[in-house]
Amino acid sequence: MASSALGGKRNVKIFLLYLMQNVRIPLDFATLNDMVMQTDYVMYLDMAEAFHEMLDDALIETAPAEEGVTDDTPRYIVTQKGRIVAEQLHSELLPTILDESLRCALRYLDFRRRGITTHCTVTPAADGTAEFFCSVEQHGKVLFETRVSVDSMTRARQMEDNFRARPEAIYKGMWSLLSGNVNYLFS
């Protein structure tokens, strides 16, 4: 029984097909899983079960070996049958869920390609306030980090949600503010 926020195995399959079709590159299982886990819409077990059923149903298939790729990790692509299913049924899922998930998946792939990692923590304090910490690193070098004391856990969790949703915008905004390019905030 699927327990994902999407409401069932069929929707998980549609979700996976939509993402795979729109990232437009062959994906190994681990990368697909990491992309999907960027949001809280699908749980790992639901994703793994749907993935294997999609293979069995010929909605996805092993991609031909890529020239120059030396590892033998199988990569998968959407079949013609899978494309038809995704196009006909994707409207059953909320466009906002699909758009947010695709944006997160593309950011994940871009960050992975460039060696960028993000970190974010919230630490409660005894007086009811909290500390919010976030950072962006590239190949282990800190590009940006900040630590902010805030008046409540609620506000700290809002900051955490905003950072996790759009770390690239937070980084760009802080860079713009600190360099004096405040026009970025109004464009």
pLDDT tens-digit readout, 16-67: 998 999 898 999 999 999 888 888 788 889 999 999 999 999 999 999 887 7
- In this predicted model, what pLDDT tens digit does every residue of 63-94 receive, in sequence order? 988 777 777 889 999 999 999 988 877 666 67
pLDDT higher than threshold 70 for residue 126: yes
pLDDT category, 2, cuts 50, 70, 90? very low
Q: Which residues contact 61 (CB under 8 A, 6 or more apart)?
A: 55, 76, 77, 79
Residue carrying structure tokens 């059953």:
92
Confidence category of residue 185, pLDDT binned at 50, 70, 90: low
- On average, the pLDDT of the chain sits at 86
